[in-house]
A and B are shown apart, each in its own frame.
Chain A
Amino acid sequence: MEDATLLSPEAHSDLRRRSPYRYLHAKEMAFCPVMPGELDHVFANFPVVFVKDAETGAFSCVALFSLDEKENLFVAKDGAWMATYAPEALRVYPFSVGTTDGENGSVCFIDDPDYCSYSVGEKVFDDSGKPTLFLETINRQLAILVAGERQIAGHIAQLVEHRVLTELAVVTKRKSGKSNRLQGIYTTDRNALTTLDDSTVVELHRSGALAFAFGCGASIVHITNLVQRKNLGAEDPIVSVDAAESTTQ
């Protein structure tokens, strides 16, 4: 993975981002974080689940693009996005927010030739070196991603505190009889949600965490979509998938 470079009008005055936008950069991303402002769209298209960070154990909330690692069933060979909606987190590449010393909060980019050009596409800086409308849009999107992650983390903290998250056991069975059990995916527990006490219900409703929790729970049905996409042209298709709240550890 290339390192990101700090964007500067001096060094990158001619930088352009290619159009139309393609999603090749996401072809091995099995999931990406979701933003509060796009929940209706992601709930309507993808399973939205919770996964833990391998280093810290912290939960994040993500849209799933495949049941297999390093695979994205929504990126076509030519990079087109194969659903009606692409999450915000996937649309800012090659730009990102810098996290290196002293550059916190500044915009960086990866000089990926599939996305960057110095002759064609959307200009990043205008002739006087000021950010174009395009770059300002990117800046806004990046800011939304940072703030959104914090807001989602707040919802997650509330759901963990009130014991609303539960592990999901996703078991797939193939035509050959091979079965696979997916680990480490969590969803919201509808039973736990409906038995919360009144004051907790009000608290979660006011913060938005309640609607968020119900939406995540409902989105699990999209796992069937993932299976259908995976099966297209597959030699050993998945014949059954069972996604149930895990009762054993």
Chain B
Amino acid sequence: MIKDILIVGGGTAGWITAARLAKKYGPESSRPVSVTLIESPNIKTIGVGEGTWPSLRETLEAIGVSETEFIRDCGATFKQGGKFVSWVHDDPDEYYYHPFNLPAGHHEINLAGYWKSDNEATAFADAVDCQARLCEAGLAPKKITTPEFKAISNYAYHLDTNRFGEFLRNICKDKLGVTHIEADVEQVNCADDGYITSVSLADDSTVSADLFIDCTGGRSLLLGQTLGVKFKSCQDVLFVDHALAAQVPHDDSVPVACHTIATAQAAGWIWDIGLQYRRGIGHVYSSAHISDEEVEANLRRYINAIEPNKADDLTFRKIPIKNGYREQFWVKNCVAVGLSAGFVEPLEASAIMLLESAAKMITERLPVDRESMMTVSKMFNRAISERWERIVDFLKLHYAITKRTDNEFWIDNTRPEGMSDTLKEMLAMWRHLPPDELDFVTTSNVFPAASYLYVLLGMQYSCDYGGSMGDKRALSTAKKYLASTDHAYNRLVTELPSHRALLNAVCEHGMQPV
């Protein structure tokens, strides 16, 4: 019987998994289990990972967190999507948005075939929705009177990952009954059948459990090192192999972007994530295509453009990136969540979203015994593998159809050898048919079809969706929805506060739970 769960490793992965499990299977529940988390006092968490997807709202609500406390304690800000600058051409004024809102009328009609009929100069994202315009105007996705976790414009968060870990740890320990052990794991002990029985700590004590969750980060102590599950690199698809990261402080009087800014560079891109009191700025790059010196110079230039002379006071942190994921994620009684399962560059902030997905699946399908665990683990592996493949394809999409030729990095990215067969086939189909939910196999897709559409059209992909238009009634429906986005913008622009104003109001007054 699965009664005791041991999570090895803290950080976002460990604590979100602990919280999900402890909340659902607490002492008052119909199936109480014990949740213990062992965290090393010496091994630091990765310390970056500040972008999220709207799924985090559901996760926090499920755990019983107050959105007000989360925003106050984790320096968090709202995120309405991503702004991609200079990805199509090496032009600093060119950008497209990948917003979180789905296009108007998406439940009824796909506007991909109809949006071009009006103004050629209007971007797709602006024709089918107004969220991108709200971001450009620096507006928040909701009002102080909007209840916690509810949205006027769909949103996620930017957060301080170190504070978030502490925040979750406190909730797990104080409210959810998670047992916390601060110790280094010296040894992982297995039985003859290969199942993990316990871990041994530095003081020679052992902690046993029925299910072990590996949240040890890239070292993958349990799944990778102990059970020998191999890491499948996809460095041949996603070329970037390092990031140079910095934090630029600012105070609560300056505006803060309500979206992640990803600015393409000669051989990589720079992320720019605004929190309440600082901006996380980092240069992701491929060392095969650019030197460390050039990268540092690019980063300094970017930072100085925002805050003149600030770059000189900052420390830059070099972080290696190994794109790839494990061949399996749940083997016997060990399942990996977070970096121990895999990692890809943060272009679409998929890391936290994926670990949330894994934690939710483990919680919702927690096996009762070893027999059911064999089946659950098979399904888990299938679902998570599918997700990794889709994420890699989706990230590659941002590079694969660029028109930039200013560096071998971009030219190499367009070569077919660096794309999965699925992506190549999809791209061919997407020349004439717009992406649709039917294109994707899984019931809970990682990215909605609309996301692919936002990126394809934002990247100015050569496609013609005129053939997917319907009859006169469809045309009239499309016109109605296209007209509605301007109305929505005109209304919202007078109602919504600025992003910074809302953050300050949340910190001062808090949000109502209802």
CB of B510 to closest CB in A, whole Å: 7
* Given A52-B145, A249-B147: A57 touches B514 (CB 8 Å cut-off): no
In chain B, residues 462-514, which have Cβ atoms closer than 8 Å to a Cβ of chain A? Answer: 505, 508-514
How many chain B residues touch the partner (CB < 8 A)?
13
A57 pairs with B510, CB closer than 8 A: yes
**Chain B binding surface, main DSSP class:** loop
Interface flag for B106 (CB, 8 Å): no
How many angstroms from the CA of A55 to the CA of B508 in the assembled complex? Answer: 11
Interface flag for A49 (CB, 8 Å): no
B145 pairs with A166, CB closer than 8 A: no
Interface flag for B301 (CB, 8 Å): no
Contacts of B147 in A (CB 8 A): 167, 249
Number of A-B contacts (CB under 8 A): 37
Interface flag for A163 (CB, 8 Å): yes
How many chain A residues touch the partner (CB < 8 A)?
16
B144: nearest residue on chain A (CB-CB)? Answer: A57
B144 pairs with A55, CB closer than 8 A: yes
Interface flag for B382 (CB, 8 Å): no
Contacts of B510 in A (CB 8 A): 57
8 Å CB contact of B145 from A54, A160, A163, A249: A54
CB of A197 to closest CB in B, whole Å: 12
In chain A, residues 30-46, which have Cβ atoms closer than 8 Å to a Cβ of chain B? Answer: none
How many angstroms from the CA of A54 to the CA of B512 in the assembled complex? Answer: 12
Interface flag for B370 (CB, 8 Å): no
How many angstroms from the CA of A184 to the CA of B144 in the assembled complex? Answer: 12
B509 pairs with A57, CB closer than 8 A: yes
In chain A, residues 125-170, which have Cβ atoms closer than 8 Å to a Cβ of chain B? Answer: 160, 163, 165-167
Interface flag for B150 (CB, 8 Å): yes
A166 pairs with B514, CB closer than 8 A: yes
Interface flag for A186 (CB, 8 Å): yes
Contacts of A163 in B (CB 8 A): 513-514
8 Å CB contact of B505 from A57, A59, A166: A57
How many angstroms from the CA of A57 to the CA of B506 in the assembled complex? Answer: 9
A186 pairs with B514, CB closer than 8 A: yes
B514 pairs with A56, CB closer than 8 A: no
Contacts of A59 in B (CB 8 A): 512
| 15 sample A-B contacts, Cβ–Cβ < 8 Å, listed by A number | A52-B512, A56-B505, A57-B143, A57-B505, A57-B512, A58-B509, A58-B512, A160-B513, A163-B514, A165-B514, A167-B147, A167-B514, A186-B514, A249-B147, A249-B150
Chain A interfacial positions (CB closer than 8 Å to B)? 52-59, 160, 163, 165-167, 184, 186, 249
